[in-house]
Structure 1
Amino acid sequence: MAGYENLVDFISNIGFPIVVSLYLLHRMEQRVEGLERTIQELASELAGAKSNGKE
């Protein structure tokens, strides 16, 4: 229960909207990193296909 108490203290100290914003930013960061990886993989696949003459 110590984790829950720390969370409640954190919310009461800085405010609910800030906690929600931080949570959403954290989730969004993970999704952006996933998109970056996917784009890099796609770019390398396209580069490989282009070098093989499969345009």
Structure 2
Amino acid sequence: MSDVDLFQMIGNFGFPIVMTIYLLHRFEKKIERLEEVVQELAKIISFNRK
């Protein structure tokens, strides 16, 4: 996404909406990794209870 596209989106949709979309896009990979770690932790806890 270029700077021109970003400024055009801000003009069309407003700053709060553009920032929300940007932050959700940026944190998507971190959220996916967090989900993987939580699933691994659940498996470890389940294994240790047996």
TM-score under structure 1 length normalisation: 0.62
Q: Percent identity among equivalent residues? A: 42
Question: How does 1:1-55 map onto structure 2 within 5 Å?
Answer: 3-51=2-50
Gaps of 5+ in 2: none
Q: Which has the higher contact order (CA 8 A, sep 6+)?
A: 2
How big is each residue's C-alpha offset from its partner over 1:1-55, in whole Å with a ceiling of 9 and x where there is no partner? x82211111111111111112122334444432322111001111122223xxxx
How many pairs does the alignment contain? 50
The structure that has the greater radius of gyration is: 1
TM-score, scaled relative to structure 2 = 0.66
